[in-house]
A and B are shown apart, each in its own frame.
Chain A
Amino acid sequence: MKAPDFDYHRAETLEAALALMAEEDAFALAGGQSLMPMMNLRLTAPEALVDLNAVDGLAGVRIEDQRLTIGAMTRYAALEASGEVAEHAPLVSTALPYIAHPAIRNRGTIGGSCALADPAAEMPALLLALGAEVHLQNVKGARSVAADEFFLGLYETAREDDELVVAIQLPVASKRQRIGFHEITRRHGDYAMAGCAIVATEDLSEVRIAFFAVSDRAVRARAAEAALAGTSGGKAELENAVAALSEIDFAGDMNASTHTKRHLAGVALRRAWAEVMA
């Protein structure tokens, strides 16, 4: 199938891009690794595309005030290759090889994944676990939204239609940060059947757990976090945490019922937690 027709604008500055986003019922075109398939399948038919690929300054990783700022147009491949990301956001480095395939990671962007909010995508869950902030901007101004308040539902976020995601900000990981990541997929690089990302302090006083591919969006598991935070993280506490997963509003799909998702989330949690404790 061929994409329906549209107007195409290549923006070269952020201002120009924002102006185009304001003017029309336009879609940002980032890596195109989700938007183009949807257009080629005629599942979506934007009036206009605002291509962000040539916009100056939207890509790149930098450290400021103990925060790691990642430009929205930073591609997965760049994140994978980034020493800063490996050092300051090891969870992201750990998870990247599981996202799609090399050729997709050569184009796909962190901002695109964030804006899309696919419930099965890794990145939104990573951002939840890391306590990230999403920086948004439109012609009227800029704002930032905590990841916890950003992912609102199935492909639904706090972003207004005319806003662009311009950057993602993460707290710099302490050297002793513990992380765990596990996803259950039938084939390498596929969207997961269930996945879990965990960030904890060395003493387990703070634990953040997020899931993907189990609900209509990436979700925090706060009751499970509470079951593990401040404990020794042993088997009993872990099982309490697994039991606490019933707090999640599980959603089944073609390949796994709600019940199966609930089960797989528990498996993913146990396996990710084993990495936390390793």
Chain B
Amino acid sequence: MTGPLTIFDKPNSYIGKTVPRPDARRLAEGRGRFVDDKQLPRMVHAAFLRSPYAHAKITKLDASDAATSAGVVAVFTGADLVPHVEPYVGVLTHLAGLRSPPQHPIAVDRVRWQGEPVAMVVATSRAAAEDAAEKIIVDYEELPALTDPEAALAPDAPRLHAEFDSNLAWERTVDVGDVDAAFQLDGVTTVEREFRFGRHTGVTLEARTALAEYDPAEDRLTFHYSGQAPHMMQFIFAKHLGLPEENVRIVAEDVGGSFGIKIHTYGDEVATAAAAKLLKRPVKFVADRNESFVSDIHARDHIIRARMAVTGEGMIAALEFDDITGIGPYSMYPRTSAIEANQVLNLTGAPYEIENYRARARVVFQNKNMMCQYRAVGHPIAMAVCDGLLEDAAAAIGMDPVEMRRRNLMGDDSYPRASAAGMKLDDLSHHKAIVKLTELMGYDALRDDQAKLRDAGVYRGIGFCSMVEVTNPSPMFYGVGGAPIASQDGATVRLDAGGGLQIASSVTEQGQGTNTILAQIAAGVFGVDIDRVRVKTGDTEATPYGGGTWASRGAGIGGEAMLQAAVALKDQVLEVAAAILQSSPDKLDIRDGHVTDLDGAERMSLMDLARTVYYRGNELPPDLKPELIATRHYRVTEFPFVFTNGAMAAHVEVDTETGIVRVLDFWAVEDCGRVLNPLLVDEQIRGGVVQGIGGALFEECLYSEDGQMLNASMADYLVPMAAEMPDIHVAHIETPTKTSVLGAKGAGEAGTGGAPAAVMNAVNDALRPLGASIWQMPMTPERVLKALGVV
């Protein structure tokens, strides 16, 4: 009837077409609905006093002046909240051995990073709350700050948590094949480098914002949430504030960027919800920019010693590395802070045929802000290490880096198969991608120009990255380890009396265009104009249950659920139509809001049908029980993740006198399976690439040795801005995933995952004739000058 093959080419299909977002028009008129736009009756505002020290004992806390300060409604210390908030622990059972102590929303007697909440003031305005926070007197006894993760691992290092025997939070090793023997092989060339990846953070333009309201009559908490995972937050607030889960409602309307920042449990947000419950008044908390820098999760911050052996023919004989990463004083709840290191082990070398692979990761407690999953978790590190060494080795044996990839990339016809680290791979197209990439960029001509310019003292470089991206995760990502994180998502499609569709989904919109893609799928599969579809996401009370948006799963998982729901509703509607029209469902179709014959001749409008069902049921056969609503859920079953692949290239110019790197051009070829909306996918990739360039060249949370974040403002933490960014040329290969009818994989993180490696390789390509190379990100002017031996 509605065979999956027809939905992509039938008349009403929007799948694969560029459809602009209705949300975009609304937002451009200034009609956003962000959390801070909401003002509620009797609403009060929270501000936090935060620790000025990276590590200290709180010996005295006197809030009496603050409590009587103008406008103050309440002051809460860590101890005040202890009876009301169950502490949380960021461990998961599938990350065997991961440990982390219980965490309180506000520090109780010891602070472990600069920026940790020490007290909360609730007042009639944010300004009044801040005025009062300044009046809280806290005496601290400073303790030694452990900031360097390597030093924190030393046997005699002071321990951050007395209950543990060391500062090691987690360790994992992978050892496949015979690595030692491979490095000893005759004729292999070994390259060895130490990579350093700076800490960076999300800098969502809308800071984390929370507005909690509590209704004591119904024991009900409504949390207006700027974030990605409503149902996860529902669980968390219910569990830790002692509320029945169904009494917690999470509402996420417009979200001003998220990128993995707004998907974690933050003490200030938990305290905000607790305060609303205790005060029985709406409490709003908006992180200011300084707070964002010292409390939004950070990411990356890995030190990796790595080596690769290649044969004279350019085949990778072995890859080995050792990764140390500092995660701050706790493992973040509930996703944990071990996932990034785990991903580095899983993903490094995954595009290539590598038989001998050994890696170790150590995840270390330290006195800095906490680290957790941010866009492209682990990918930029994994790709930079492998592709960095690969291009280094290519240069060492005098081989073109593209040729080197051709020899080592897994064959496009070799799937399904596993990577060295054991990842199950299918439907990838590395070779097609790199061929398309070199055509797109005009590789040979660029190399010619490069050579000519070098003679003129201009140092340009070309760098590549062949990558994989983890998308559409199954329960094996989090759920298996006990996390309250749904890997399945649900979709509901309802035909209303007016003939339009109301659809709802448990995936969420943060600007990536989820709502539009869901509407495209529902409209196309069911058979109405897209303008007749209303979309609801981001409300635990109004959508099916699901995971929300993370790990590039919205389109692939949420989209497939929507497809299945639309197919189901279509079948249901045609059954009703057949009864009314005295036809049979397999002789009917739905197009442009009408029930039609298979040749497209209109038989009745959907409005007619719906009005008949809803208002004039008397006209229907008594045994017909029409259902004009359908809900379906979908999860990935055959694979832990659905991998995508891509190939990227950067063209850079290095000013060898100033050390400034300028990205001149960037190309990305992505295989995200079926492209649902080319405009939106391309823009996801471009935005991702720019975040990747940010990580490669600009962004770094700088800390002093005693754990003070030195650049916690937007003036000092450099994000990529328009003037420095290149145009990004995007092309696609479409290898639909066989795991779903829709065939869509994710695309949201590819750019961020691949761009740093490409840029680093390009910089090193530019520096190579000068005998210099750089393996530390961001590649700041001073670091480039140091690499050149100029300073």
Asked if chains A and B come from one complex, the reply is yes
Q: What 0/1 readout, one digit per residue, does chain A (155-191) give for beta carbons within 8 Å of chain B?
A: 0000000000000000000000000000010111111
Contact A187–B718 (Cβ < 8 Å):
yes
Q: What 0/1 readout, one digit per residue, does chain A (39-79) give for beta carbons within 8 Å of chain B?
A: 00110000000000000000000000000000000000000
- The chain B residue with its CB closest to the CB of A259 is B791
Q: Given A4-B131, A254-B710, A186 and B791 touching (CB < 8 A)?
A: no
Instruction: Give the contact stretch, choosing among A127-135, A217-225, A260-268.
Output: A260-268
Contact A189–B791 (Cβ < 8 Å):
no
Contact B290–A1 (Cβ < 8 Å):
yes
Q: Distance (Å) between the CB of A104 and the closest chain B CB?
A: 12
Q: Given A188-B723, A188-B724, A255-B782, A1 and B718 touching (CB < 8 A)?
A: no
CA distance A264 to B784 in the complex (A): 13
Q: What 0/1 readout, one digit per residue, does chain B (120-137) give for beta carbons within 8 Å of chain A?
A: 000001110011001000
Number of A-B contacts (CB under 8 A): 62
CA distance A256 to B781 in the complex (A): 8
Contact A263–B721 (Cβ < 8 Å):
no
CA distance A5 to B126 in the complex (A): 12
Q: Which of A37, A42, A257 contacts B782 (CB 8 A)?
A: A257
Question: Interface size on B (CB < 8 Å)?
Answer: 28
Q: Does A193 contact B (CB under 8 A)?
A: yes
Q: Does B246 contact A (CB under 8 A)?
A: no
Contact A267–B131 (Cβ < 8 Å):
no
- The chain B residue with its CB closest to the CB of A263 is B791
Q: Given A187-B724, A254-B716, A260 and B782 touching (CB < 8 A)?
A: yes
Q: Distance (Å) between the CB of A120 and the closest chain B CB?
A: 11
Q: Distance (Å) between the CB of B280 and the closest chain A CB?
A: 26
Q: What 0/1 readout, one digit per residue, does chain A (187-221) give for beta carbons within 8 Å of chain B?
A: 11111010000000000000000000000000000
Contact A184–B658 (Cβ < 8 Å):
yes
Contact A2–B127 (Cβ < 8 Å):
yes
- The chain B residue with its CB closest to the CB of A270 is B657
Q: What 0/1 readout, one digit per residue, does chain B (432-449) give for beta carbons within 8 Å of chain A?
A: 000000000000000000
Q: Distance (Å) between the CB of A85 and the closest chain B CB?
A: 24
Q: Distance (Å) between the CB of A33 and the closest chain B CB?
A: 12
Contacts of B790 in A (CB 8 A): 263
Q: Does B702 contact A (CB under 8 A)?
A: yes
Within 8 A of B (CB), among A8-42: 37, 41-42
Q: What 0/1 readout, one digit per residue, does chain B (698-715) give for beta carbons within 8 Å of chain A?
A: 100010000000110101
Q: What 0/1 readout, one digit per residue, does chain B (286-307) give for beta carbons within 8 Å of chain A?
A: 0010100000000000000000
Chain B's interface: helix, strand, loop or mixed, by majority? loop
Question: Interface size on A (CB < 8 Å)?
Answer: 25
Contacts of A2 in B (CB 8 A): 125-127, 130
- The chain A residue with its CB closest to the CB of B722 is A188
CA distance A254 to B716 in the complex (A): 9
Q: Given A186-B660, A188-B724, A256 and B782 touching (CB < 8 A)?
A: yes
- The chain B residue with its CB closest to the CB of A266 is B657
CA distance A254 to B718 in the complex (A): 12
Contact A187–B723 (Cβ < 8 Å):
yes
Within 8 A of B (CB), among A233-261: 254-257, 259-260
Contacts of A1 in B (CB 8 A): 130, 288, 290
Contacts of A37 in B (CB 8 A): 715
Contact A186–B698 (Cβ < 8 Å):
yes
Contacts of B204 in A (CB 8 A): none
Q: Distance (Å) between the CB of B244 and the closest chain A CB?
A: 37
**Max count, chain B CB within 10 A of own CB: residue among A3, A4, A186, A191:** A186
Q: Does B785 contact A (CB under 8 A)?
A: yes
Contacts of B658 in A (CB 8 A): 184, 193, 264, 267
CA distance A155 to B657 in the complex (A): 29
Q: Distance (Å) between the CB of B366 and the closest chain A CB?
A: 20
Contacts of B127 in A (CB 8 A): 2-3, 5
Contacts of B785 in A (CB 8 A): 260, 263
Q: Given A4-B131, A42-B130, A264-B658, A188 and B721 touching (CB < 8 A)?
A: yes
Contact B782–A187 (Cβ < 8 Å):
no
Contacts of A4 in B (CB 8 A): 131
CA distance A213 to B426 in the complex (A): 54
CA distance A191 to B711 in the complex (A): 14
CA distance A255 to B660 in the complex (A): 12
CA distance A189 to B541 in the complex (A): 47
CA distance A193 to B713 in the complex (A): 17
Q: Does B780 contact A (CB under 8 A)?
A: yes
Q: Distance (Å) between the CB of B276 and the closest chain A CB?
A: 21
Q: Distance (Å) between the CB of A182 and the closest chain B CB?
A: 10
- Other than the given A189-B721, A254-B716, 7 more pairs (CB < 8 A) read A1-B130, A2-B127, A4-B131, A184-B781, A193-B781, A257-B782, A260-B785
19 A-B pairs with C-beta separation under 8 A: A1-B290, A2-B126, A2-B130, A5-B127, A5-B131, A186-B718, A187-B698, A187-B718, A187-B721, A188-B721, A189-B723, A254-B710, A254-B716, A256-B781, A259-B791, A260-B785, A263-B790, A264-B658, A267-B658
- Which residues of A pack against B, CB within 8 Å? 1-5, 37, 41-42, 184, 186-191, 193, 254-257, 259-260, 263-264, 267
